[in-house]
Amino acid sequence: MSESTLTIQQMQAKVGSELAVSEWVTMGQDRINQFADVTNDHQFIHIDVERAKAETPFGGTIAHGFLTMSLLAGMADDSLPQIANRRMGINYGFDKMRFLSPVPAGARVRGRFNLAACDERKPGEFQLKYAVTVEIENSDKPALAAEWLVLALV
């Protein structure tokens, strides 16, 4: 969990800037298999290493796009500053999410968070928009780019 704490006014002053970069997370085959089991998405490109090597352009298995997206919650929790006096945070959804590049099994990924907006919707309720990318280590192209909406109740 991030050690820094900012007031909502300090957050608003940071609109347009990068707030955090998470630690690297390994996208291991075990994680991919577990995600396949939880979501019932057992497409061979994710779980059958030999077939994926033989029949895909990826050279092996790749992570589910939704698995990559789901890692954002932990990446955010580990890296983003806390909001002072926040009673709760609520995932509000995404705008413009794209899976730009496959994540090979065994690769490491990390989240990069830019604060695009921090608007008060009603007293004590703020909508934050993060322009977020998930980078793949040693790759020029990110795995994911999105606008992530979060509500902060302070």
- DSSP class of residue 80 equals S
- Class of residue 138 by CB neighbours under 10 A (exposed 0-12, middle 13-18, buried 19+): exposed
Q: How far is CA 58 from CA 1, 8, 52, 55, in A?
A: 34, 43, 7, 9
Specify the pairing of strand 5-6 against strand 82-83. Answer: parallel
Residue spans of the domains in the chain: they are 5-26+66-153
Q: What pTM, to 2 d.p., does this model score?
A: 0.93
Domain 5-26+66-153 adopts which CATH fold? Answer: Thiol Ester Dehydrase; Chain A (3.10.129)
Residue 97's Cβ-side half-sphere holds a number of Cα atoms within 13 Å equal to 14
State how far the Cα of 106 lies from the Cα of 17, in Å rounded to an integer: 31
State how far the Cα of 46 lies from the Cα of 41, in Å rounded to an integer: 9
Task: Encode pLDDT of 18-58 as tens digits.
Answer: 999 999 999 999 999 999 999 999 999 999 999 999 999 99
**Are 45 and 32 within 8 A, CB to CB?**
no
**DSSP assignment of 8-66, as one string?**
HHHHHHTTTSEEEEPPPEE--HHHHHHHHHHHT---HHHH-HHHHHHHSTTSS-B--HH
Task: Encode pLDDT of 64-119 as tens digits.
Answer: 999 999 999 999 999 999 999 999 999 999 999 999 999 999 999 999 999 999 99
**Are 31 and 107 within 8 A, CB to CB?**
no
At residue 85, what is the residue type? N
